[in-house]
Amino acid sequence: MPELPEVETIKNELTPHIIGRTVTNVTLFWEGIVRQPTVTEFRSRLIGREITGVTRRGKYLLVSLNSHEWLIIHLKMSGALLVRPDSSEPPRFTRAIIHLDNSTRVFFRDPRKFGLMRLVRETASIVGKLGPEPLEPGFTSPLLSQRLNKRSAPLKALLCDQKVIAGIGNMYADETLFLARIHPLRAGGNLSPKEIKCLHRAIRQVLQTAIKNKGASIENYLRPDETPGTAHLEFMVARQPGKPCSRCGEPIERITVRNRGTYFCPECQKENDSQ
């Protein structure tokens, strides 16, 4: 958390506030948020630069500058980017502020202090090893089959592996597998062609619906205007232990898969089922 839908929402809603604006100052309340380069160099290379674009790659937010450098932001577990007027007080847990020339400030709020910023001349060293974007046209059922081929790891772990597919995390992996009726412990390389198609369709449907609902505000995620997303209100299994399954009425169960809390319906997602 935040995952692809949350970062996509932040990108979409942050863009009109920052495109074409110049960075006038950078305030750091916690210098550990800057991972590259040094804090002094980070500030000197960022201040005075115009923001020319904002894009997303996986769970990373990529901000292009007129210096041909990139500000790369990863919100990690609890980060949020909030936009407030220059006269307002910083929200609690603010770790950094980016000041813009239109009297706007972007607050990097991060209660758990896992988030980070990097200023780099090229992005490949940070995002070059990420897997395909699941909402791009090139992400097809055959490509998904290729990514999972001969993989013995559980599907839940593979869906969360950013080198396999970019952007999916715990919540949307659980929702995807429920929609596809596949047990989270099934080995990735053991899916039938029909199951691959169901999984591909479920990935895209779950992510698209979550973006439409502006992400899931289960813990610390807020949109830039500080309003919550509503995607979590439609979750069928994610973080719903004991809740009756919407399909069959069986209680949703929680197990651990590769150290990740995982939610599923034991009736609709039988481990030994194959289609």
Active-site position among 49, 56, 59, 95: 59
Tokens of 137: 């046209």
Catalytic residue status for 260: yes
First to last CA, the chain: 31
Indicate if 111 belongs to the active site.
no
Dist. CA 126–CA 120, nearest whole Å: 9
Amino acid at 113: K
Task: Give Cα separations from 33 to 26, 30, 238, 239 (angstroms).
Answer: 12, 6, 29, 29
Instruction: Please say if 3 is a catalytic residue.
Output: yes
Closest CA to 174 of 207, 144, 141: 207
Radius of gyration of the chain, Cα coordinates, nearest whole angstrom: 20
Helix (H, G, I), strand (E, B) or coil at 114: coil
Which position among 151, 254, 260, 270 bears the catalytic label? 260
By DSSP bridging, strand 116-120 and strand 34-36 are parallel
- Active site includes 2? yes
Exposed / middle / buried, residue 272 (Cβ in 10 Å: 0-12, 13-18, 19+): exposed
Q: Which residues contact 113 (CB under 8 A, 6 or more apart)?
A: 30, 32, 33, 95
The catalytic site residues sit at 2-3, 59, 260
